[in-house]
Amino acid sequence: MSTEQSAGRAPTIRDVAREAGVSKSLVSLVFNGGDNVGPERRERVLRAAEQLGYRPNLVAKSLAARKPDFIAVLMSNLSNPLFAEILGAARARLSAAGRRTMILSAVTEGPDGEPMLDRENLDVLHGLRPSAILAIGTIPDLNDLADLTGTLPTVVASATERAGGSVFVVRSDDFAGVELVLDHLVAEGLREIAFVGGDGGDVSAARERAYREGMTRHGLADLVRVIRADFTEESGRRAARELVEGGRIPEAVVAVNDLAAMGAMAGLEEAGVRVPQECRVTGYDDTSLSAIPRISLTSVDPDNRRIGETAADALLDAAGPFAEPSEMLVAPRLVVRDSSGGGQVGVARHL
Q: Which long-range contacts (CB under 8 A, 24 or more apart) does 15-19 make?
A: 15/52, 15/54, 16/45, 16/48, 16/49, 16/52, 16/54, 19/48, 19/51, 19/52
Q: Is the preceding peptide bond at 276 cis, omega within 30 degrees of 0? A: yes
Q: Can you give the length of the chain in residues?
A: 351
Residue 282 has a pLDDT of: 99
Residue 166 has a pLDDT of: 78
Q: What are the strands, taking DSSP E only, across 23-165?
A: 70-75, 100-105, 107-109, 115-117, 132-136, 154-157
Residue 67 has a pLDDT of: 59
Residue 344 has a pLDDT of: 46
| Per-10-residue mean pLDDT, the chain, length 351 | 54 87 81 72 84 69 60 90 94 94 89 82 78 89 72 88 72 97 97 96 92 98 97 96 93 98 98 97 95 96 97 91 86 97 54 53
Residues 133-164 have pLDDT tens digits of 999 998 887 777 776 766 888 999 998 765 55
Strand partners, 327: 169
Residue 196 has a pLDDT of: 98
Question: How far are the Cα atoms of 2, 12, 53, 63, 267 from residue 17, in angstroms, in the given order?
Answer: 13, 9, 13, 22, 67
Residue 94 has a pLDDT of: 95
The amino acid sitting at 232 is T
281: enclosing H helix or E strand:
strand 280-284
Residues 53-90 have pLDDT tens digits of 876 665 555 545 555 678 999 999 888 889 999 999 99
Domains and CATH numbers, the chain: 3-56 (1.10.260.40), 70-172+304-330 (3.40.50.2300), 174-302+333-350 (3.40.50.2300)
Cα angle at 241 between 237 and 246, to 5 degrees? 145
Say how far apart CA 272 and CA 262 lie, in whole Å.
15
Residue 59 has a pLDDT of: 54
